[in-house]
Chain A
Amino acid sequence: MTAPVPAGLTLHNLTVRYGRKSVLSELDAGPFPHGAVCAVLGPNGSGKSTLLRATGGLLHATGTLMLDGVDLTPLPRAQRAQHCLYLPQTLPEPVRLSVLDAMLAARHAIGRQGNTSTAADIDAAMACLADVGIAQLATRSLHELSGGQRQLAGLAQALGRKPRALLLDEPLSALDPYYQQTVMALIRRETAQRNLITLIVLHDLNMALNQCDLACLLHNGHILAYGPPAEVLTPEHLRTVYRIDARVDTGRDGQRFISTAGVV
């Protein structure tokens, strides 16, 4: 009898160098389970983006990357992106391309997939747009949309590629509070529905505390703590990592919030 294949995403011995400087060295992370949203936290320059980009195959890294028991490291970028999709921090550029065209371009970017007809491609693209709630914008051009709407379009593009792991690099930072909540709720729902492994880089600690299933705290290129957000975001950890003097309180409705008294 063989051992069961470990489900989820696990990084082992991951090392990334920019020139001589190593940003991440021999980092072990995970396992990140299916169906859970995991916040990747840490101050600027702690290696959050690097971690996600290396996992998504955008940076050269050494080490192993196991997704549901299969090592993705030897795969070429196009195939790797089919499994593990990184979504960059920048919004889709406001170009003269309809939302639907953008969906189809993302779908065909690495060659036409299968023998699907255009009508079937459109149905699939529209289903994703409906999932993120912008089906009514399908024929509008990206350059006419707001930043929040473009972020949703970018998310729909990613979902349309049906990855197993979704790596989101600060998807909320360019958005207003309305869209921050909308996008976060959407990410939670789709992660559960599609059984995705979702890693999300956040700067909003309260968002991480209340809306994520797991949190992973990076400090100087290694992982200081990983687990349920309430156990990771403790005043001690915040002091070490962010150098802030913070307190975690619980509100009447059970929501927790972090208030900062100053820097240390």
Chain B
Amino acid sequence: MTHYPAIARSYQTALRHRSLVLAGLVGVLALSVLLDCAMGPAELSPTTILHAIFAPAGVDEQTSLIIWQIRLPYALMAACVGAALGLAGAEMQTILANPLASPFTLGLSAAGAFGASLAIVLGWHVAHVPDMWLTAGSAFVCAALSVWILDMLVRLRQGGTGTVILCGVALVFSFQALVALMQFVANEDTLQNLVFWTLGSLTRATWGTLGLLAGALACILPFSLRAAWPLTTLRMGEDRAASLGVDVPRLRRAALLRISLLCALAVAFVGVIGFIGLVAPHIARRLVGEDHRFYLPASLLSGAFILSLAALVARVLVPGVVVPTGIVTALVGIPFFLVIVLRRGEGLP
């Protein structure tokens, strides 16, 4: 058999290059989380912050409180939600074979917000279960339902890319109308609570919600990565993947389950945050290509980085006021997205 050492070497170089890109993303993410901690009314130097995080004994109580109770949960929540949306968007674009697919554009976020608002407005309580869990559970059920409806519609019509988007848009408007209806029937107190979901805000992040989301992400990521090869094959066409022996319906179902879990948790804790799930996969594709072993983590990290950046901007935009993050993601994400897409003068991949 002929050997191809030169090709093997260049392949290894390419793999190393992609790993380096991932490492670089981790680096900028860490930096932006740190910056996120540094910004705010109380001026804290980077060294103080590092001290407070890694050697809490050495700093005064007030600083420690600011960092641990306010800034760190906020900054980490931004990163985690961004990661969840980035991963969900990446898987969604692959299994629906559509570059416009994302939790936001296809109605998952709206469905999740509807689920959360149901739980809030109807004031569901179950003994010994925190309200937070009920809200998250309700958001999950609705998000999963919307994904399932979407998948069914697409399957029924044997739809191409157009059908997916049209069905998704129909879902977005349906669920937005339902959320508006919930707002209409809600009383003053719950209304305020509801506005929070629809605008998307990170300010209510607690260690509890953060832990839950990070835990879910840590559980789901290995399954996503295990499906990396079949998902890569799926990118070359559904028939082709099937003909190579991939059980496409099963792969799709598993991915949809992961996507709805990720989106539902993200929506349940911070509300509707758009564009991250759409933008992150495109950035990842530009950075590392479509080998899903790298594409999935790259999209996760890009999502985390952009939302972290958006969270930072949300706090420094108007001094003393935290602008809802959902508003900022669009303002930060879209120009970023345009630059990346238009840079090489190509259309959407």
Contact = CB atoms under 8 A, between A and B. Distances in A.
Contacts of A100: 7, 11
A123 B3 contact: yes
A98 B247 contact: no
Interface string B277-295: 0000000010001110000
Interface stretch (A27-35, A81-89, A182-190, A218-226): A81-89
Interface stretch (A138-146, A191-199, A247-255): A138-146
A87 B237 contact: no
Contacts of A87: 240, 243
B88 to A, nearest CB: 20
B47 interface: no
A105 B229 contact: yes
Contacts of A143: 349
B243 A123 contact: no
A130 B2 contact: yes
Interface string A147-161: 000000010011001
A122 B236 contact: no
A123 B246 CA distance: 24
Contacts of B236: 92-93, 95, 97, 102, 105, 142, 154
A93 B237 contact: yes
Contacts of B1: 123-124, 127
A97 to B, nearest CB: 5
| Residue of B2, B230, B239, B245 with most partner-chain A CB within 10 A | B245
A17 interface: no
B252 interface: no
A119 B5 CA distance: 8
Contact of A88 (B2, B8, B239): B239
B295 to A, nearest CB: 9
B4 A58 contact: no
B245 A97 contact: no
A108 B239 contact: no
A96 B7 contact: no
B244 to A, nearest CB: 5
A110 B289 contact: no
Contacts of A135: 4
Interface residues of A, number: 47
A126 B7 CA distance: 9
Interface string A72-88: 00000111111001111
Given A98-B289, A110-B245, A143-B349, A92 B232 contact: no
Contacts of A130: 2
A241 to B, nearest CB: 26
A109 B237 contact: no
Contacts of A88: 237, 239-240, 243
A96 B233 CA distance: 12
A56 interface: yes
Given A93-B236, A97-B235, A110-B244, A138 B229 contact: no
27 contacts: A58-B242, A77-B242, A88-B237, A88-B239, A88-B240, A90-B240, A93-B237, A95-B290, A96-B285, A96-B289, A97-B232, A97-B291, A101-B289, A105-B232, A110-B244, A110-B246, A118-B8, A122-B11, A123-B1, A123-B4, A123-B8, A126-B2, A126-B7, A139-B7, A139-B10, A139-B14, A158-B243
Given A77-B247, A127-B2, 17 more contacts: A58-B243, A77-B242, A88-B237, A90-B237, A93-B97, A95-B236, A97-B289, A97-B290, A98-B289, A102-B236, A105-B233, A105-B291, A108-B229, A110-B244, A111-B229, A126-B2, A139-B10
Please list the 3 inter-chain residue pairs (A to B) with the smallest Cβ-Cβ separation, ordered nearest first: A81-B245, A88-B239, A78-B245
